[in-house]
Structures are given as structure tokens and as C-alpha cells.
Structure 1
Amino acid sequence: MEPRNRRPSIALLVLALLAIPAAASARERAQARPNILFILVDNLGYGELGVYGGGATRGAPTPRLDRLAAEGMRLTNMNMEPQCTPSRSGIMTGRFAIRSGTYAVPLGGVAEGLTRRETTVAESLSAVGYATGYFGKWHLGSTDGRLPTDQGFQEWYGIPRTSDEALWPEHSQYTPDIVKPESVLEGRHGQHSHGVVTYDLEERRLIDAELTRRSIDFMERQVKAKKPFFVFTSLTQPHLPSLPNPAFVGKTGNGDWADMLAELDFNAGQLLDAVDRLGVRGDTIVVFTSDNGAEFLEPWAGWPGPWRGAYNTALEGGLRVPFLIRWPGHVPAGRVSNEIVHGVDMFPTLARLTGARVPRDRIIDGVDQSAFFLGRADKSARESFPIWNQDILMAVKWRNWKVHFYRQDNMLEPPLELLVPHIINLYTDPREETPTVDTWVLSPVLEVVAAFEKSVKKEPLIPMGTPDR
């Protein structure tokens, strides 16, 4: 008996041939996912970089970041929350921090940081095959369970809280028996994060160079492995104490602050050079921005440019930050826009550009800005947002208007509730000093407030200090 004919039928051959381009298309989509290098700096004022009126006028030219601006898009109306922790929370979750219990910098005594119920952009990117690394200041939880490697990052190195803690060991009355000094931590997903070195003033000067080195190493490893990467480089400068790396001390001749600015520009340049050297420039989205407005305390005070105020206020100087985005062949080079964008928009925008998913089981305040960034739309997808300072609704920004419900000129003053809201036209009064009588503006502004209040009824806020369950 002859063996049965094993040759496939013509119909099966046709189906197989049809499947080949579909499979190839799936592979191409996976390979086409752009890398992301997200550089976040700490308390960099609007007016510090050369392209924002600073640079040489602040004692240190910023040629690398100025060049990045020319190679991509620069925003003049990028807004963050007035404090560090809320801004970082918003970038990570796409949600206003008031929703997540992360609306203020934690001062101890409560469970700090993001609850595990929140979904981060790193978790969404990991789910579609990205290698994810976090290098730098976190400030969204300082214990196991709430570190970057618990929130979607596969590895991390940095400080869990903030740089002013580097001053502790230098204080004459400080002792580690009372409060343990902050350590620089290192960890991987599924493992306990461990201390590497005490974060003192010596380490404060060195850390950004190390964060840059580790970020580059991570990119090198992922390019070699042919895996798309999401590198979040959270540099610690210029947060107080704004002390430059020893290699930059005296470099500008204009003091520590200018030397630090030169160092910041250099580190950004090192990251950009690595992208070029690895041959992935055209395949990498680069974002550079700050978590909030300028440093306030002397002798490290920053510069908000034409605006008034610093971080911890609802003034433009506390909200507006530098923002540069580059993706060659996709984001038009040399474009400048004054359209309103907010930090919470980063998650849905990056998700759209990478094919990652935005959670659908919770309120997402961010909007997809991909069409705007890619030059397919002249207008931002956003025209307003509420401004919270801690758990107080301080103001609402709508188009070129700002309506203040409280007044607070600096972080050392308590917010003063206003009997009558102050209506500010930011075009004619960028320093927010003279309220107008344009009461018609209250109508669209109060609609923003009402929409938020309605959303809270649908989804109650997570109180600060809420433990994981």
C-alpha cells in the first residue's frame, strides 16, 4: 500500500502565503516601536536654558539642550504640578495627583508614594515588550513595594526621596541614631532594593554623572539585545543643594549654580551622543523637561524667566517648565508652540506613539497629544486644567487666562483664600499682578471645576497615606 500523499492542497498553500505578510507585519510593528529617552530634571526654572532666555545670561551657555530644541519641538506653555511628588505622579499615571493620594511631598509618618493600584506608563510599556529602566530621583515611595521596580521598571538606581536630605550628615546636631541618612539604592524587579552609598554632599556632587553613565549602559544593553527601551533619567540637579560635580567646579567662573548648569547640559549631551553612537537616533523619542518651576531658596534660587513665582505656588513660575521633544522624521524640527500641555498628557501620548495601553478602569486626566507633537494638528488637545497645591484647588488655567481662588506668592506663605477670584490675562499680565474685571471668563473656568467635582463622585479620591491592600 502506497503512503498517503502528504503534499498540501492548493487552498492550504494560499492560506500559508497569505499568513506570511501578516506575520511579517506583526514583527515589523514590534520592531517599529520607538525607543524613549525621558530626561526629567529637578526644579529647573523656565528661564534657565539658552533657548528660554537663559544659558549665557545665567552664566553658563547650554549648547547641547539648545541644539536639541532646534532638532525637535519646544513648548513655551508646558505645565507641571507645583510640587515634585505630584508632578512625577502625574507623568507616571496620567492622572492628577489629587486622585492618587500623591498631591504633596511626603514629610514622614504616612505610607508615602503611589499605591500598587495605580498603573504607570512603565507598566504599560513593559506589557508591550519594552525594557524599562529608571535612574535617578523617584520620590513616589521609599520602601519595598513602592519603588520603581514595583511600578513597572525592570531595574533602577537612584534616591527614593530628595536631594536636600544630602545636607543632613553635615548638620552639627544630626545623628543617624535619630534619623537614618538617605542612601542611594539599586534594585531589580522581584528583588529587594539595597543601599549602595550614603547620599551625602560628596555623593550629591557625583550622582548625576553616575545616573547618566547607567542610563547609557542600559541603552547599550537593550540596543545590543534588539529590544525597544524606555529609559527614565531623573537627574537630581538643580534641586538644592545645587552643587556641581568636581569636574565642573570653577568651569564657568561664575559660581556653583552656573557650573551646575554647565554640568546639566553636558550630561544631557552625553545621553544624546549615546543615542547617536548606538545608531538609534531616528528610532528614539527624546523628551527633556522639569518636574516643576524654579528653585526658591537662596543661595540656589533659579529663574522663572518672564513669569513670577517658584515651585509650591500656583503662579506661572511654579507651573511652566522647559519642554523639548525630538523624534527625527516624525516631530517637525524647529517648531515652537505656546499651546497648553500638562504633564499628565505624557502617559496617553507615549502610549499612542508606542502601541501601549492606557488603563480604561479609572479616570485618566491626560490627553493624547501625539497629533499635536507630530505636526498633524496646530492646536493642543487641551485648553485648560485645574491647579492644585497639595489638596487645595488654587486656580484654574483656561486658554490665556488664569483664575486664582487663593493667593500665595511663595512657598513660605500659607495660601490666602480670596473673597473674589482674581482673573488674570496672561497675555497682558504674565506676572499675574493685576486682576481684570473680565468676569465672563468665570463661566468656562467654573465648568472645569464642575467637571472635576462630577468625576470625584464617580471615582472617589485616594487619600494620602493610603496603604496597599
Structure 2
Amino acid sequence: MKRFSRALASWTVTVAVLVACERTVQAQPAAPPSAGPPNIVFILVDNLGFGELGVYGGGILRGAPTPRIDRLAAEGTRLLNFNVEAQCTPSRSALMTGRFSIRSGTYAVPVGGAADGLTLWEITIAELLSGRGYATGMWGKWHLGSAESRFPTHQGFDEWFGIPRTYDEAFWPSLNQAAGLWPSSGNKQGWSPGIAPPEPLLEARKGEKATQVGVLDLDARRTMEAAITDHAVAFIQRNAAAKKPFFAYVSSSLVHMPTLPNPAFAGKTGNGDWADCLAEMDFRTGQILDAIKQAGIEDNTLVIFASDNGPEATDPWQGDSGPWRGTYFTAMEASLRAPFIIRWPGKVPAGRVSNEIVHVVDMYPTLARAGGAEVPKDRPIDGVDQLAFLLGQQENSNREGFPAYVADRLSAVKWRNWKMHLIWQVNMYDTPQRLPLPKVINLLTDLKEERDAGATSSWVGVPMTKILVDFEQSLKKYPPIKAGTPDPYVPPK
């Protein structure tokens, strides 16, 4: 942080004093509409790049139309500047807590063998909504705790089906099976369950120990999305019949590597596995939307479709970043900008498109407000309430910028349509390079982030530096939780 501060100081020496900078707009939060607490369905797809969906310029250009998701966008609001964190675990942590993941010790995808995930001190959006009488369910990848004590059903969810970590681990048993490499054969190079146990498929309910119902291998990977959708649909039907408000967190498995379609979709597009998976994603989304409509709750159900990250970077599953440059695990726009669609009939404007900045941390206070819950007051919450903006009650977002971390490296800062890079990295496999001076990008005139505009636009250092200074001061006042911190965690006084 000190090295960043020195670089910033040298770059902004001719800029006006920080106290003159413009602050992030903080509009008064909107009250939720009076029709009763809405059901909330949050479909978070996995590593879907900006340019994949038809409504974002992909669809048939990527080998498969996406009519159901495109129609969802037409029925609601689509954001062009929805921002996430650079990796799966950080984005999911930010969604659940409303806090940048650097605060929670969840700033990187965990590697096996060490404690990982959210401490139980964190208060998730599921806990907030559960406290307001919501039924809460989650299906798919959790990625915020591999130990039983940190599973979703210990973090506010009534039920869960899925995996604790990531889909990469499907390779472990399956590659050995294909090559005939089993420990009993005397092979010392292949995977051994005695060294790294296979990732379990789990079902769990609040107050009960999770039950293993399978093992993640390539066959299970292919059928994972169907199982996730079936669980979500049953949950929606059950709670709609009981007239109980619910929060359904559908943590989609698509299009995370290995990107493999369900057998029913294999070969359907004629354009390969990736396109088949895009077609399956659209179909599964349609199944959930149909369940909502058939249950007669469409008008009082807030649906969000979003991605946790930018596109995959690994051959042969690379995604498409649309007009942007880069991949996830970086601070490039292709990493930070993700698809986001929200529908709430009669409340969220239909057909609206906005380039206003929204961050995934903003979902926490926004959904809390919609559900009638209050956010915690005993910790810094980085998210800002965007309900009035999303309901069309104001044109501007309540956020103008944010710091962008890649793992624990402060890599960039965004403000309005500008970005300042402190560390340069285009692809996840590139070596991060600390810049001697920050690199300033005008995101309206340079979508590929190729030209440094710092020499002629140094004035943007004022609001950008203010964002960084304020956040640095916040980290000093509220020291971040270290990765691997065990429970119980008690913040320092």
C-alpha cells in the first residue's frame, strides 16, 4: 500500500487538494413497494463473459441463441457497467456480505489444505432475509467454506445442494479413470483420494449435518446444472404454495470449466460443447422463469440474472469479453464488467439499459432494503443501496467508483468512465507488473484500454485518489480478516 501511495503522490503532485474532490453520490434509500415482501431469485452464472448472451452482442455469434435470457432483459433493466471482483470466491463473498472481499479474508480462490471461507462473524444476505421471515435456499457451488461449520446452512440458508469448492476438481477422478491410473496399480503420478479426497456432492438442511449424495467427476459435472435447476424449481413451487416469501440463490454451474453440456444438450447446436452449454444455460433459466409464472407469483418476484466473473481464460473453454479486453483474475474491464439483468414486473422499468456503475457489493443493501431488512451497523459495509436507481426512481447510480483488487493486490480504481491502473495485467496467465506511474484509461474512447490518457487528464487523479485514500483509512480503522482465520472470530477493538 505504501508503494501505491508513493506512486500516486508523484503522479498527482500538480492536482488540486483532495478535499476538493467529488464524493460518491449518496441518495436517500428507496422504500420497498408496499405489496408485501417480494420473492427474490438470484441466478448467478459462473464465468460468463460480457459478450456471450444475445442481448449483450453474443448469442448466435457464440453458436447458440439465448431467447429466454434476452426476453428477460426486455422485460426488465439491463446494466452495462455492473462490476464484480476478479475471482469466483471474492465475488461470491462480496455478494453475500456487501463487503469487498479483502475485508473478509476471501480475496482469492482457496487452494486445498488450509482453512478457507467466510468466518461465522460475517452476516450474509441470507441471514438478513431469514430474519425477516424468508425461506432461503441455495444450489450449486458455494466456494465460501469447505468445512461443515461454514457450509451455506450455517450461514443463513435453510437448504443447500451442491459442492463446497469448484468444478475444476471434476478432473481428479475422471482423468485417472480414463487413463487407468489408480493407486492400486502402483502409479505414483496420478491422483489419489488418500492425498486429495474427491469433491463431494452434498445436500444439507439448516440444523442438520450435510449428507454426501455423490462425487464430482466429469459425469456429475455434465448433469450438475439440471440438478441445480430441479432443486430451485421445487423450492419455488413449495414456498409459493405455502405463500411464504423466499430467497432463491441459484448458483449456476455454467459456463465454468470444464464446460460440458448435459447429455440432452450435447450436439444440440452443432457448434461444440461451449455453444451447447450456452443453449443449456438459456433453457435452465427458462425453466426457473416458467416455475415462477406457473406458481402465480411473477408480479411479486424480483429476478436477477448476473455473472460472478469475466470470461474463462483457459483453452479450450475461453469465453468472450465483448468489446472489452482481458480475462478474469485481472483488473481489466473484461474481468470487472459482467452481465446483469433485473426484472420485477411493474416496478423495475422494462427495456431500460444503463451504463451507470453498480458493484456486486451493492446487491447486499439493495436486496436487504427490498426484503425489509436492515444492514449491520457494527462493521463497514461497502455496498450502497441501489433500489431507487434500479426501480427507475432516479437516473443515476448511487455509486461513482470503487477500488479494484486482484487477490490481495490493489490493482486499479474506477471512477465514472475512467480507470486508473496501478498494476498492469491483461490475462490471468500474465505476470502482474507494478507500474512506475499509474496508467489512466478513458473507458468511453478506449474500450480496449490501450492508451494512457494520464498526461492530458491528470485531473481524474483527484476523485480516484480520494477513493483509494478513503478505503486505505477504512482498512486501518477496521483491520481486514486474514485469510484462513478460524472461528470464532472477534474483531479487534
- TM-score, normalising length: structure 1: 0.93
Q: Which residue is equivalent to 2:402?
A: 385
Q: Structure 1 residue 339 and structure 2 residue 356: aligned? A: yes
Q: Distance in 2 between matches of 1:205 and 1:361?
A: 43
In the TM superposition, what is the alpha-carbon distance from 1:433 to its structure 2 partner? 1.0
Q: Which residue is equivalent to 1:158?
A: 162
Q: Distance in 2 between matches of 1:140 and 1:134?
A: 13
Q: Distance in 1 between matches of 2:40 and 2:301?
A: 6
Aligned-partner SS, 2:244: coil
Q: Distance in 2 between matches of 1:178 and 1:209?
A: 30
Q: Distance in 2 between matches of 1:95 and 1:408?
A: 24
Superposed CA RMSD in Å reads 1.2
Q: Which residue is equivalent to 2:65?
A: 61
Q: Distance in 1 between matches of 2:444 and 2:144?
A: 35
Q: Which amino acid aligns with 1:464?
A: A
Pick aligned residue for 1:439 from 446, 455, 458: 458
Q: Which residue is equivalent to 1:181?
A: 198
Aligned-partner SS, 2:264: helix
Gaps of at least 5 residues in structure 1 are 1-27
Q: Structure 1 residue 213 and structure 2 residue 230: aligned? A: yes
Task: Indicate how the Cα distance of structure 1 residues 158 and 224 shifts in structure 2: closer, same or farther if over 3 A, else same.
Answer: same
Q: Which residue is equivalent to 1:361?
A: 378
Q: Structure 1 residue 103 and structure 2 residue 120: aligned? A: no
Q: Distance in 1 between matches of 2:452 and 2:236?
A: 49
Q: Structure 1 residue 270 and structure 2 residue 287: aligned? A: yes
Note the 1:138-153 alignment, pairs <5 A.
Answer: 138-153=142-157
Pick aligned residue for 1:456 from 446, 471, 475: 475
Q: Which residue is equivalent to 1:115?
A: 119
Aligned-partner SS, 1:237: coil
In the TM superposition, what is the alpha-carbon distance from 1:413 to its structure 2 partner? 2.1
In the TM superposition, what is the alpha-carbon distance from 1:33 to its structure 2 partner? 0.5
Task: Indicate how the Cα distance of structure 1 residues 370 and 226 shifts in structure 2: closer, same or farther if over 3 A, else same.
Answer: same
Q: Which amino acid aligns with 2:314?
A: L
Gaps of at least 5 residues in structure 2 are 1-31, 177-189, 489-493
In the TM superposition, what is the alpha-carbon distance from 1:453 to its structure 2 partner? 1.0
Q: Which amino acid aligns with 1:354?
A: G
In the TM superposition, what is the alpha-carbon distance from 1:443 to its structure 2 partner? 1.3
In the TM superposition, what is the alpha-carbon distance from 1:144 to its structure 2 partner? 1.1
Q: Distance in 1 between matches of 2:229 and 2:418?
A: 39
Q: Structure 1 residue 77 and structure 2 residue 96: aligned? A: no
Q: Which amino acid aligns with 1:135?
A: W
Aligned-partner SS, 1:242: coil
Aligned-partner SS, 1:361: coil
For the pair shown, which has the larger CA radius of gyration, 1 or 2? 1
In the TM superposition, what is the alpha-carbon distance from 1:29 to its structure 2 partner? 9.5
Q: Structure 1 residue 43 and structure 2 residue 47: aligned? A: yes
After superposing the two structures, state which structure 1 stretch, 175-184 or 90-99, moved more: 175-184
Q: Distance in 1 between matches of 2:204 and 2:60?
A: 39
Q: Which residue is equivalent to 2:328?
A: 311
Task: Indicate how the Cα distance of structure 1 residues 30 and 113 shifts in structure 2: closer, same or farther if over 3 A, else same.
Answer: farther
Q: Which amino acid aligns with 1:278?
A: A
Note the 1:232-381 alignment, pairs <5 A.
Answer: 232-381=249-398
Q: Which residue is equivalent to 2:20?
A: none
Q: Distance in 2 between matches of 1:128 and 1:29?
A: 16
Q: Distance in 2 between matches of 1:53 and 1:136?
A: 27
In the TM superposition, what is the alpha-carbon distance from 1:30 to its structure 2 partner? 9.7
Q: Which residue is equivalent to 1:8?
A: none
Q: Which amino acid aligns with 2:65?
A: P
In the TM superposition, what is the alpha-carbon distance from 1:444 to its structure 2 partner? 0.9
Aligned-partner SS, 1:246: coil
Aligned-partner SS, 1:393: strand
In the TM superposition, what is the alpha-carbon distance from 1:142 to its structure 2 partner? 1.2
Cα deviation, 1:44-72, whole Å, max 9, x if unaligned, reads 00000000000000000000000000000
Q: Which amino acid aligns with 1:50?
A: G
Q: Distance in 2 between matches of 1:130 and 1:234?
A: 18
How many residues matched?
442
After superposing the two structures, state which structure 1 stretch, 246-255 or 407-416, moved more: 407-416
Q: Which residue is equivalent to 1:15?
A: none
Q: Distance in 1 between matches of 2:280 and 2:414?
A: 34
Note the 1:400-419 alignment, pairs <5 A.
Answer: 400-419=417-436
- TM-score, normalising length: structure 2: 0.89
Q: Which amino acid aligns with 2:486?
A: P
Q: Distance in 2 between matches of 1:148 and 1:352?
A: 22
Q: Structure 1 residue 399 and structure 2 residue 416: aligned? A: yes
Q: Distance in 2 between matches of 1:352 and 1:248?
A: 39
After superposing the two structures, state which structure 1 stretch, 422-431 or 31-40, moved more: 31-40
Aligned-partner SS, 2:148: coil
Aligned-partner SS, 2:202: strand
Q: Distance in 1 between matches of 2:215 and 2:231?
A: 18
Q: Which residue is equivalent to 2:38?
A: 34
Pick aligned residue for 2:484 from 456, 465, 469: 465
Cα deviation, 1:245-297, whole Å, max 9, x if unaligned, reads 00001100101000000000000000000000000000100000000100110
Q: Which amino acid aligns with 2:165?
A: R
Higher relative contact order (CA closer than 8 Å, sequence separation 6+)? 2
Q: Distance in 2 between matches of 1:417 and 1:367?
A: 30
Cα deviation, 1:62-84, whole Å, max 9, x if unaligned, reads 00000000000000000000100
Q: Which amino acid aligns with 1:234?
A: S
Q: Structure 1 residue 131 and structure 2 residue 135: aligned? A: yes
After superposing the two structures, state which structure 1 stretch, 171-180 or 326-335, moved more: 171-180
Task: Indicate how the Cα distance of structure 1 residues 255 and 115 shifts in structure 2: closer, same or farther if over 3 A, else same.
Answer: same
Q: Distance in 2 between matches of 1:360 and 1:189?
A: 26
Q: Distance in 1 between matches of 2:34 and 2:147?
A: 34
Cα deviation, 1:292-322, whole Å, max 9, x if unaligned, reads 1001101100000000011101000011110
